[in-house]
Amino acid sequence: MATPDPLAAFREMKFRDPARAQAMIDALGRLTAAIGRSPVSLMHVCGSHEQAIAKYGLRAMFPAALRVIMGPGCPVCVTDTREVDEGVALARQGVHIATYGDMLRVPGTVMSLADAQAEGARVHVVYSAGQAVELARRLDAPVAFFATGFETTAVATAAIVLNGLPANLSILSAHKFIPPAMDMIAATPGLAVEGFLAAGHAATITGWGVFESFAARHRMPVVVAGFEPLDILAGLVKLLELVRDGTPAVANMYPRCVTRAGNLRAQEALWTVFEPVSGRWRGIADIPGGNLAFRDTFAGVDARRRFALDAAPLASPASPGLAAACLCGSIMAGISSPTDCPLFGGACTPESPVGACMVSSEGTCKIWHQYGGYPDLGDMA
């Protein structure tokens, strides 16, 4: 008898159907068994994927031999200490800082932007790049947009730059580009990741074709997936099929949004304004091509070139205390889980976070904390 197609629901565009989810969960079990290794490790690189996996309790349903790890998929979390220090230094010069809310409490070397705000610095939360422009138009003072995020938000930053910024607005770019980070992780010895689940929303911009050279280089499959529970399960089923067959291909399981070429206008805007440069990802490494810096043509809007930015006084030789025990770096690199961290849920909570992973709603620790931690439910159900 033929096995029913576990991806049938997905093809019919029904994204929330528990019965069909169960068929896919069964398929994960069969595929993991067919692969025969334990564990089979797959990595996703997106906070929204982790949100959905945790919220719907999917991890409790995965076969024991399947490990689904979250990699460096939280842009706020990988914003480096030095970049936060630069923001704080700017704020202390009297420059108004506009930034996304999640950034406020991310610790710098000695203080966060929220701490700087408590000392009198002017820090404004914005919800979009466009709001930073509106803010600058309202204020008769220098404003710097502390811009963070991956390809998705970087395109929005590029768009306001191409439209022309008010003279008093500059941008401190902490934008990151995901594909080079995947390269670094794929090459990390001992991590044993066998396939990547790529984030559907970023791929709407880059196109799924951006992963083809990666798959060939590392002989590792990549599947682009969306964010409904069935999207994620379908992505994992497809990824395990490619692993089982030893096929280092790229599959697009989010065709309702993602094409091979992606959004060409957005890419043009992105690469007109930014160039990839080597940069530090917090707790992980210097990643060649992992940061997005302004091209010389746009030097005029670059806060790093407009202001003398000296973050050195913020570097503290003092003992880092609690932060020394924080495992954010190895959690973001996919080496450790939040529950491996001695601070998780005790000394480190969303109310008083020690590491960036507990600050951002995209951070692994915050997500695990919100949804009850590791689903070790035993015979509960």
For the chain, give the longest Cα–Cα distance: 74
Q: Report if residue 320 touches other proteins, rule: CB under 8 A.
A: no
Please name the residues in contact with 271: beta carbons below 8 A apart, sequence gap of 6 or more. none
Nearest alpha carbon to residue 214 among 204, 223, 205? 223
In this structure, what token pair is assigned to residue 174?
């902490």
Distance CA(369)–CA(349), nearest Å, equals 8
- The piece of 5-13, 219-227, 263-271, 372-380 that touches other proteins (CB under 8 A) is 372-380
Q: Report if residue 322 touches other proteins, rule: CB under 8 A.
A: no
Distance CA(141)–CA(220), nearest Å, equals 50
- Find the binding residues for other proteins in span 86-105 (CB under 8 A): 100-102
Amino acid at 289: G
Distance CA(313)–CA(105), nearest Å, equals 20
DSSP string of 13-76, one letter each residue:
T----HHHHHHHHHHHHHHHHHH--S-EEEEE--HHHHHHHHHTTGGGGS-TTEEEEE-S--HH
Query: Which residue of 189, 246, 317, 378 would you call a contact of other proteins, by CB under 8 A?
Result: 378
- The piece of 34-42, 51-59, 292-300, 310-318 that touches other proteins (CB under 8 A) is 51-59
Q: Report if residue 372 touches other proteins, rule: CB under 8 A.
A: yes
Question: What is the x/- site pattern for other proteins, positions 170-209, by CB under 8 A?
Answer: ----------------------------------------
- Find the binding residues for other proteins in span 227-286 (CB under 8 A): 229, 233
**Do 105 and 95 contact (CB within 8 A), yes or no?**
no
Q: Report if residue 352 touches other proteins, rule: CB under 8 A.
A: yes
- The piece of 49-57, 281-289, 295-303, 330-338 that touches other proteins (CB under 8 A) is 49-57
* Strand-pair category, 285-294 with 274-281: antiparallel
Q: What is the closest distance, in whole angstroms, from the C-beta atom of residue 295 to other proteins in the complex?
A: 27
Q: Report if residue 110 touches other proteins, rule: CB under 8 A.
A: no
Q: Report if residue 371 touches other proteins, rule: CB under 8 A.
A: yes
Q: Report if residue 160 touches other proteins, rule: CB under 8 A.
A: no
Backbone angles phi and psi of 70, in degrees to 5? -90, 125
Distance CA(92)–CA(19), nearest Å, equals 56
CB nearer to other proteins: pick between 192 and 377: 377
Q: Report if residue 21 touches other proteins, rule: CB under 8 A.
A: yes
What number of chain residues touch other proteins (CB under 8 A)? 37
Q: Which residue has the tokens 């992505």?
A: 235
Q: Report if residue 55 touches other proteins, rule: CB under 8 A.
A: yes
Please name the residues in contact with 361: beta carbons below 8 A apart, sequence gap of 6 or more. 47, 51, 102, 367
Q: Report if residue 140 touches other proteins, rule: CB under 8 A.
A: no
Query: Which residue of 5, 8, 12, 18 would you call a contact of other proteins, by CB under 8 A?
Result: 18
The residues pairing with 149 across neighbouring beta strands, listed in sequence order, are 175
* H-run or E-run covering 274: strand 274-281
CB nearer to other proteins: pick between 118 and 315: 118
Q: Report if residue 355 touches other proteins, rule: CB under 8 A.
A: no
Query: Which residue of 23, 35, 46, 54 would you call a contact of other proteins, by CB under 8 A?
Result: 54
Query: Which residue of 28, 31, 43, 58 would you call a contact of other proteins, by CB under 8 A?
Result: 58
Q: Report if residue 114 touches other proteins, rule: CB under 8 A.
A: yes
CB nearer to other proteins: pick between 292 and 354: 354
Q: What is the closest distance, in whole angstroms, from the C-beta atom of residue 101 to other proteins in the complex?
A: 3
CB nearer to other proteins: pick between 318 and 381: 381
Q: Report if residue 289 touches other proteins, rule: CB under 8 A.
A: no
Q: Where are the alpha helices (DSSP H) in the chain?
A: 8-11, 18-35, 47-55, 75-78, 81-92, 113-118, 129-138, 151-163, 178-186, 200-206, 212-218, 229-245, 264-273, 303-306, 328-332, 364-370
- The piece of 156-164, 185-193, 283-291, 368-376 that touches other proteins (CB under 8 A) is 368-376
Binding site for other proteins (CB under 8 A): 18, 21, 25, 54-61, 100-102, 112, 114-115, 125, 127, 229, 233, 349-352, 361, 369-373, 375, 377-381
